[in-house]
Amino acid sequence: MSDNCVFCRIALRELPTELVHESPNTVAFRDLRPQAPVHVLVIPKPHHPDVATLAAADPALAGEVLSTAAAVAEAEGLRADGFRLIFNTGRYAGQEVFHVHAHVVGGAPLGPMLSS
Ligand code: DGP
């Protein structure tokens, strides 16, 4: 738990959210500002600021985040047509919340990976 971290508070169920999946070490919930018909965030329950620090500190947990993201994509019906998995990391990527999270987005054609 990191003080004032909104995603730690979601993991602890201190803030309301639309939960779509929970495992002992991960939580998945719908993004507040969806960018696609399906837009789910997957987080590890322990606080790590971004995917690089998570991968260095706890590679097994990083793997659990990936497998949870795959399970969410399957459960949301995204496997057949595909989906995008995004880890915004740091300032140039526009990361807003510094508790590592995977965006699982899909449900429609997503366009180019980067806006020009
Ligand atoms: P990023 O730029 O990768 O850090 O994206 C953060 C995302 O988190 C953004 O799409 C909006 C979402 N978000 C921020 N606060 C909340 C919240 O309190 N609840 C939910 N469900 N999503 C949130």
Give me the CATH number covering residue 36. Answer: 3.30.428.10
Residue from 47, 48, 99, 101 carrying the catalytic annotation: 101
Q: Does residue 112 come out as left (phi exceeding 0), alpha (psi in the -120 to 50 range) or beta? A: beta
Q: Does any domain span residue 113?
A: no
Q: Does any domain span residue 12?
A: yes
| Global pTM value | 0.97
Q: Does any domain span residue 112?
A: no
Res 98 pLDDT > 90 = yes
Active site residue 103: no
- Give the helix/strand (H/E) hosting 62: helix 59-75
Q: For the chain, how many structural domains are there in total?
A: 1
Domain span at residue 73 reads: 6-106
Ligand 1 probe mutation, 13, 19, 33, 65, most atoms within 8 A of CB: 33
Ligand 1 probe mutation, 21, 96, 103, 104, most atoms within 8 A of CB: 96
Say which residue the tokens 């997503």 belong to: 110
- Give the helix/strand (H/E) hosting 21: strand 19-22
Q: Does any domain span residue 1?
A: no
33 lines ligand 1 (CB under 6 A): yes
Q: Does any domain span residue 76?
A: yes
Q: Does any domain span residue 78?
A: yes
Query: Can you name the residues that pair with 83 across neighbouring β-strands?
Result: 106
- Give the helix/strand (H/E) hosting 84: strand 83-86
pLDDT in tens, 49-79: 999 999 999 999 999 999 999 999 999 999 9
Task: Identify the CA nearest to 37 among candidates 71, 65, 88, 76.
Answer: 76
Q: Does any domain span residue 115?
A: no
Q: Does any domain span residue 111?
A: no
Q: What is the pLDDT of residue 2?
A: 73
